[in-house]
Amino acid sequence: MGPRMLLFGLVAALVAATPLRRQQRTTVDPAVYEKLVSYAAFPRLSATDPGSSVPDPNCNVTLFRYINQQSTDTQAAVWLRESTREVIIGIPGTDGLRDDLTDVKALPIPYISPSVRCPGICLVHAGFLLAWNSIEGQVIEAVSSALEQNPGFSVAVSGHSLGGAIANLAFARLRNGPFNTTGAYTYGQPRVGNREFANYIDSLSGTTDSEAGSYYRVTHAEGEP
C-alpha cells in the first residue's frame, strides 16, 4: 500500500470510528447568536502578532500575550476584554504547509494531555493533540498571569478550523484547571476524537439532550465543518 492510500485509510478509520449523529435543527436564541458573533472575531485577530496595535479597534480588546510555537507552527493569542471582564484565547485556523501537515496527521492516538484524565478509551487526532500540547504550557502560563493581574475575570476560548480543534483540547485543559472557564466557541471545527472523548467534552461543558452547555460548535447547515 502506498503512502497516499495509507493516509486515506487512516483518515477513514478516524471518521468511521465516530459516526455523526444528526440532531433536529432548532432556532438559535438571539442572545446566543450575538455571543457566537462576538467570539467569532478572535481567531482572525490571533492569526498574526499585532504587536502593540489591535487589528480591529471595534473589538475593544487588548492583547495580553501572543504565542507562536515554531516547532509545530501553532499560534494563539490571549486577549483581555474589559467590557465583559474576560480573558479570551483566540486560536487561528489552517494557514500554510505546516498546518496542512498537522491537519492530515489523522492517526487516532490515546488522549494524553497535562492535568487531564479522560475516562474510558479516549482517542484523538494525533496532529491536533501535538499542536495543542506544543503550546499548552505557554497558554496556561499566560492565562494564569492574566487572571492574577485581573482578578474576577472569566476565561473563554475561540478557534476556527484547525484552531477550533485545538480550542476543543484547550477547553478540556482549562476546565480541569483553577480557572473560571465559562465557554468555548469553535467555527468550522473538524472532529477531534472518538465517542468517548466527545462524551468527556460534553460532561465538562454540561451538555445534555436538554441543555446546550458551555461548548458551542458552529458548523455549516448540513452539520459538516
List, for residues 47-98, the tens digit of each pLDDT value.
888 775 565 656 689 999 999 999 999 999 999 999 999 999 999 997 655 5
The β-bridge partners of 200 are: none
109 and 126 Cβ atoms separated by less than 8 Å: yes
Strand 108-110, strand 86-91: pairing: unpaired
Where do the structural domains in the chain lie, given as residue ranges? 30-218
Calculate mean pLDDT across residues 38-52: 87
Among 77-91, 97-111, 188-202, which is the least confidently predicted range? 97-111
Among 23-32, 198-207, 211-220, which is the least confidently predicted range? 23-32
Extract the C-alpha cell encoding 151.
482578578
Q: Quote the percentage of the chain above a pLDDT of 90.
A: 64
161 and 187 Cβ atoms separated by less than 8 Å: yes
Query: Is pLDDT at 122 greater than 50 in this prediction?
Result: yes
Superfamily of domain 30-218: Alpha/Beta hydrolase fold, catalytic domain (3.40.50.1820)
Encode pLDDT of 90-103 as tens digits.
999 976 555 455 44
Does residue 190 sit in helix, strand or coil? coil
Does residue 30 sit in helix, strand or coil? helix
Q: How far, in Å, CA of 201 to CA of 207, rounded? A: 8
- Predicted local confidence at residue 114, as pLDDT: 84
Across all residues in the chain, what is the average pLDDT?
Answer: 83
